[in-house]
Amino acid sequence: MMSSKKPLFRLILAAMFLALALLLPFLTGQNRELGNMLCLMHIPVLLCGFFCGPWYGAAVGLIAPLLRFVLFGMPPIMPTGVAMSVELAFYGFSAGLLYKLLPNKKPYIYVALIGAMLIGRIAWGAAQFALMGLGKTEFGLQAFLTGAFAKAIPGIALQIVLIPIIVMALQKYTAKE
């Protein structure tokens, strides 16, 4: 009986994570610079990968920036929104896949998270490189390192602190059932 409810439960969770991805950036007041630093849309996408699996995580990551642009006009669709969709799709997918493949122990939550963050940032860089090439704008290693890491240090720190705490807390909750 419980197994028949699991796909529906994952779909409901994914919808909740998508809603959070749309709403959390309002905490930065639509300030693009602050939003780029805190990466609030990334948190629910990563959590979706952990709790719903790689495919739901990828779907929520792909949809969230595009839907947020349609509904609220942010992030700008080209190249930011498209590159962000690629990045977040890889975030959600790789977080879910790594979490599933690695041993179910606390240190591996960090391994899965950091691995997903690196994969997502590389995907963002590749997307930016492709999109900038289409616009005949240069996107080199310095721009990649600045955009993917230097400007995002507060968001990276927030994710590394917050996400494992949430995952571990919910692991304890779900283990009791």
Beta carbons within 10 angstroms of residue 134's beta carbon: 10
Whole-angstrom distance, CA of residue 21 vs CA of residue 10: 16
Whole-angstrom distance, CA of residue 129 vs CA of residue 98: 26
* Of 126 and 30, more confident: 126
Q: What is the pLDDT at residue 129?
A: 83
Q: What is the CATH number of the domain that holds 44?
A: 1.10.1760.20
- Domain membership of residue 94 as a residue range: 2-175
Q: What is the pLDDT of residues 71-112, one digit of tens each?
A: 999 888 988 899 999 999 999 999 999 999 999 899 999 999
Q: What is the pLDDT of residues 15-64, one digit of tens each?
A: 999 999 999 999 887 676 776 778 899 999 999 999 999 999 999 999 99
Total number of domains in the chain: 1
